[in-house]
């Protein structure tokens, strides 16, 4: 809702943005003058907060929509729930530019939002620090989409680790999936030490495992 109040805008609803918004909410609830003069608006490019410490769970589950949806609901927390009964307004927008002279944000739909104060909490991007091969031979794990990619294109983090450990001991892993019913995982291991590969700790093998 548009008001004449000055705006404190928080860009990004990650850990930093949400903490800032809830701190401000606390201060506002104790101070009527602040409430009269300012409004708090948090802007995020998604309507939910992504709880990053748990996104490995998506990457680690065996493929299957049911499990993915179940895990998704515990990792993405709706901003509507977080800011319910607070003085914080939230908006789902993709910020494309910040004009510090005009003091306004520009969104991808060409809308703008002016601010008196801006809290920048847009997070970071994955960096490869110019390490040769790092980008080509790795999967980043930072966003929800990254985790789904790792789960569907890779073999899932847990399965990936199992596959590599078994392979290093000369065994193999097999998966038998029946849609709508589930998957059966089995592995073989050699009984005779002669069948264990000599170079069983090689970096190349480990990296190759990523492209299962
Ligand atoms: C897999 C993983 C596990 C982690 N585990 C832990 C842990 O156990 N403990 C711990 O302390 N830290 C952990 N971290 C680190 C932690 O997630 C970060 O330090 C923290 O999220 C940084 O907070 P932030 O607010 O700066 O950025 P973020 O939390 O990344 O928030 C940035 C927000 O800005 C939004 N945004 C970005 N660009 C735009 C745009 N253009 N327009 C609109 N919105 C935008 C993003 O969608 C996001 O919601 C983990 C990180 C990862 C990737």
Q: What is the mean pLDDT of each run of 10 residues along the chain (212 residues)?
A: 87 98 97 97 96 83 60 86 97 98 97 98 93 88 83 61 75 75 81 70 43 35
pTM of the predicted model as reported, rounded to 2 decimal places: 0.76
Write the pLDDT tens digit of every residue in 6-52.
999 999 999 999 999 999 999 999 999 999 999 999 999 999 999 99
Cα–chain center distance at 27: 29
Question: Which residue among 11, 20, 44, 140 has the greatest number of ligand 1 atoms within 8 angstroms of its CB, and so is best to mutate?
Answer: 44
Q: Cα(95)–Cα(167) distance, rounded to whole angstroms? A: 46
Atom index in ligand 1 nearest the CA of residue 15 equals 25
The Å distance, Cα 14 to ligand 1 centre, comes to 5
Quote the pLDDT of residue 212: 32
- In the numeric block, the tokens 């490995």 are attached to 56
The Å distance, Cα 151 to ligand 1 centre, comes to 20
Q: Which residues surround ligand 1 with Cβ inside 6 Å?
A: 12-17, 43-46, 50, 52-53, 55-56, 94-95, 121-123, 141-142
Contact at 8 Å (CB) between 31 and 81? no
Quote the pLDDT of residue 67: 61
Quote the pLDDT of residue 66: 55
- In the numeric block, the tokens 């050699």 are attached to 190
The Å distance, Cα 97 to ligand 1 centre, comes to 20
Q: Cα(86)–Cα(82) distance, rounded to whole angstroms? A: 8
Contact at 8 Å (CB) between 32 and 128? no
The Å distance, Cα 125 to ligand 1 centre, comes to 9
Structure tokens at 133: 């091969």
Quote the pLDDT of residue 26: 97
- Ligand 1 atom 6: residue of nearest CA: 53
The Å distance, Cα 123 to ligand 1 centre, comes to 5
Quote the pLDDT of residue 167: 77
The Å distance, Cα 81 to ligand 1 centre, comes to 19
Quote the pLDDT of residue 50: 94
Quote the pLDDT of residue 54: 87
């Amino acid at each position: 809702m548009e008001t004449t109040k000055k705006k404190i805008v928080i860009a990004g609803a990650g850990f930093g943005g949400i903490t800032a918004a809830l701190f401000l909410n606390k201060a506002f609830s104790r101070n009527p003058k602040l409430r009269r003069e300012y409004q708090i608006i948090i802007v995020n490019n998604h309507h939910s907060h992504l709880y990053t410490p748990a996104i490995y769970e998506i990457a680690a589950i065996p493929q299957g929509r049911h499990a993915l949806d179940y895990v998704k609901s515990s990792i993405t927390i709706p901003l509507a729930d977080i800011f319910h009964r607070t003085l914080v307004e939230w908006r789902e927008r993709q910020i494309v530019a910040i004009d510090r002279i005009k003091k306004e944000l520009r969104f991808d739909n060409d809308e703008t939002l002016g601010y008196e104060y801006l809290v920048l909490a847009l997070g970071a991007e994955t960096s490869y620090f110019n390490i040769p091969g790092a980008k080509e031979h790795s999967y980043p794990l930072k966003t929800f989409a990254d985790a789904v990619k790792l789960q569907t294109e890779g073999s899932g983090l847990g399965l990936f680790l199992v596959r590599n450990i078994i392979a290093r001991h000369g065994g193999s892993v097999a998966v038998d999936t029946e849609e709508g019913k589930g998957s059966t995982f089995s592995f073989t291991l050699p009984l005779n030490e002669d069948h264990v590969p000599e170079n069983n700790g090689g970096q190349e093998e480990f990296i190759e495992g990523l492209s299962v």
